[in-house]
Chains A and B, each alone.
Chain A
Amino acid sequence: MGFETVAFYVLALLAVAASLGVVAQRNPMHSVMLLIASFGALAGLYILLDSPFTAVTQIIVYAGAIMVLFLFVVMLLNVGREDAAEWDRSHPLNKPAARRLGAALAVFLLLELAWAVWHATTREAVGLASVSSGGVSSVAAIGRSIFTDYSFQFEATSILILAAMVGAVVLARKEQE
């Protein structure tokens, strides 16, 4: 087994374990921390995929900015552990019929995933290491693409960010009586 294979499996395991932790944790603070770990593992996978720009953006934008925003809100609202009894009482899907249907669908989904894993590991396919990367790791090429082919979309995102900024300020503002 080469370095790339070992690194892929370690990072994939880390990402899946951390994501499972996010969903299983009842303390939102721990969920946010585990999600940061999951994003770190994904950044490692991006480096394995010859995409250093995306890996660094993942760390700076996701782990650095978005997750800090989440941490800030968790701390601001000072939310504690989720109450399991309240979960049982208030979950809209916690009814016998919905439970049975949900369990059946979950088993179906797990079977599908197992089938996909089995095919991905047994089927003959060309390894990514032997496919030409064709300069996908070049930050210059990405920048050229953003500012030429995708220049309209790039400008549209600036409107989106402006709208989100104004929206966040208006929504979170205290109402004046």
Chain B
Amino acid sequence: MDITLNHYLVLSAVLFSIGTAGVFLRRNVITLLLSIEIMLNAVNLTFVAAGRQYAAVDGQVIVFFVMTVAAAEAAVGLAIIIALFRHRESLNPEAFTSLKW
């Protein structure tokens, strides 16, 4: 049986679900950021697969921009983690709830 666009979309849905589960289940801010990266990659896969199906390069151009945003997000996110770790000596998000009402 041939591989169709559906196969790629389902794989992407599975990867996105794994990333979502990671964000909900883990108590370590670094792993939360890694789970977000899994979700971004799942979305990238749909863009490339759809671009291939409809013979358009726009999918890959958008993936290029998503990668830029992911790099910016990782840099700022990790800087925030370093700053928080310096104050609280912990990576558990429950340690950073002083702004919570």
Contact = CB atoms under 8 A, between A and B. Distances in A.
A150 B79 contact: no
Interface of chain B, helix or strand or loop or mixed? helix
A19 B15 contact: yes
A22 B75 CA distance: 20
Contacts of B13: 113, 116
Interface residues of B, number: 70
A66 B70 contact: yes
A120 B7 CA distance: 6
A104 interface: no
Interface residues of A, number: 90
B18 A127 contact: no
Given A12-B11, A45-B8, A45-B45, A164 B72 contact: yes
B25 interface: yes
Contact of B31 (A28, A48, A136, A164): A28
A76 B72 CA distance: 19
Residue in B3, B7, B26 with the greatest tally of chain A CB atoms within 10 Å:
B3
A16 B27 contact: no
A19 B18 contact: yes
Contacts of A91: 27
Contacts of A35: 34, 37-38
5 tightest A-B CB contacts, nearest first: A127-B2, A134-B55, A164-B72, A120-B6, A171-B79
9 contacts: A16-B15, A22-B31, A22-B34, A48-B3, A79-B91, A126-B4, A128-B5, A136-B56, A172-B83
